[in-house]
Amino acid sequence: MLVTNSPQVPVETVNFHLWQPCNMSCRFCFATFRDVRRTVLPEGHLPRHDAERVVARLAEAGFRKLTFAGGEPLLCPWLPDLVALAHRLGMVTSVVTNGSLLDEAMLQRLRGVLDWITVSVDSARPETLRLLGRATAGRVMEPDEYLALCRRVRGLGFRLKVNTVVTARNWREDMTGFVIAARPERWKVFQVLPVAGQNSGKVESLLVTPRQFTDFVSRNLRVESVGIRLIPEDNDVMPGSYAAVDPAGRFFDSVDPRGYTYSEPILKVGVHRAISQVRISREKFLARDGLYDLPVPAPAGAAADEPGGR
Contact of 68 with 245, CB cutoff 8 Å = no
Between 6 and 109, the more confident residue is 109
Task: Decide if 5 is inside a domain.
Answer: no
pLDDT at 3 over 50: no
Task: Decide if 19 is inside a domain.
Answer: yes
Task: Decide if 300 is inside a domain.
Answer: no
Short-list 33, 63, 59, CA closest to 46: 33
pLDDT at 94 over 90: yes
Percent of the chain with pLDDT over 70: 93
161 class by beta-carbon count within 10 Å (0-12 exposed, 13-18 middle, 19+ buried): buried
Which helix (H) or strand (E) segment holds residue 162: the answer is strand 159-166
pLDDT at 306 over 90: no
Q: What is the average pLDDT across 35-41?
A: 94
Angle at 99 between CA 176 and CA 40, to 5 degrees: 120
pLDDT at 307 over 60: no
Task: Decide if 292 is inside a domain.
Answer: no
Number of domains in the chain: 1
Between 194 and 138, the more confident residue is 194
Q: What is the average pLDDT across 276-301?
A: 79
Q: Which domain holds residue 242?
A: 13-287
Say what the pLDDT of residue 297 is. 57
Task: Decide if 211 is inside a domain.
Answer: yes
Cα–Cα distance for residue pair 30/297, rounded to 1 Å? 33
Q: Give the pLDDT band (50/70/90) at residue 289.
A: confident
Contact of 183 with 155, CB cutoff 8 Å = no
pLDDT tens digits for range 154-200 = 999 999 999 999 999 999 999 999 999 999 999 999 999 999 999 99
Cα–Cα distance for residue pair 72/136, rounded to 1 Å? 12
Q: What is the average pLDDT across 273-277?
A: 97
CATH number at residue 277: 3.20.20.70
Task: Decide if 304 is inside a domain.
Answer: no
Say what the pLDDT of residue 299 is. 46
